[in-house]
Amino acid sequence: MAVPANTYTRFTANTNVREDLIDKITMTNPESTPIISAAGKATAENTYHEWQRDSLRAPNKDNAALDGDDATASAKTPPQRVANVCQIFQDTISVSGRAEKVKKAGMKSAMAYNKAKAYKELQRDMEAMVVSANAAIAGSGGVASKSGGLGVLLYSNAQHGAGGSTVAHTSGAPTTAPTAGTGRALTEALIKAANQAAYIASGMIPPAVYMSPNHKGVFSSFAGIAVNRVEIAARARTPARPRSSAARMCTCPTSATSKSCLTTSWPARRWCSA
């Protein structure tokens, strides 16, 4: 059907119709930085930041001395002195006077908005550096300094495919990048091996496993521990079994996923005294 002649339509009024633009700006990218948010903070007083670390010798079940015997000094080694290099993360914002003055949708100040946006972007840059295999670069007048990422800092419990390796970081800054191994699929056996190696190296159970959304999908398919097992009385009138000093295994849930699906808490199996 045809529009009646001389009808004043929406298209006729195109020059004086007000825009319908909501006064908000929606950010479409993830902003969370779970790893650096979980890490502790310290203040560096030099661009070359150092710390010391030491380790205990292996336990000796045959460490037995004769009664009244002369003591002999054992060999001792000093702590390792290791370091990393401070990296400057920067973004430059330039806003003209007119752009700052005019009335804008979703923001009052273009400078304030872009500063807040840049702050989130710089946090994501820092997170990317932390999880990278970047080697530390001391820097110079013409070369920017770079911090070494976790890929070069972790070597005692690193998991590599065939041909891969990470140089032991025992002194100074980690300046050698890891050698990439042959690519392989993520398996439950690899996760368990990494968890066990971390415990053997540190004596602590890793509280969380961080992975990409794709790996989280694979991780969720692992069989893991089917059920939780706890010791309870069968009925209210049935007394619980006496507690003993024998060890028994306590099992924990395989995974508990956060809303972002990027952080997966994975309590490990452990032996605990009754």
Cβ atoms of 177 and 146 within 8 Å: the answer is: no
Containing 194, the helix (H) or strand (E) segment is helix 188-202
- Give pLDDT tens digits for 186-206: 999 999 998 898 888 888 888
Whole-number mean pLDDT of the chain? 82
Q: How far apart are CA 138 and CA 142, in angstroms?
A: 11
Q: What is the pLDDT of residue 226?
A: 53
- Pair 154, 117: CB distance under 8 Å: no
- Position of tokens 């430059």? 92
Q: Is 36 left (phi over 0), alpha (psi -120 to 50) or beta?
A: alpha
- What are the tens digits of pLDDT across the range 234-267? 555 555 444 433 333 333 333 333 333 333 454 4
Q: How far apart are the first and last CA of the chain?
A: 85
pLDDT of residue 233: 60
Distance CA(265)–CA(38), nearest Å, equals 13
Supply the pLDDT for residue 140: 94
Based on its alpha-carbon atoms, the radius of gyration of the chain, rounded to whole angstroms, reads: 29
As given in the structure block, the two tokens for residue 5 are 């002649």
pLDDT of residue 247: 32
Low-confidence ranges of the chain (pLDDT < 50): 240-264, 266-274
Bridge-based pairing state of the strands 256-257 and 247-250? unpaired
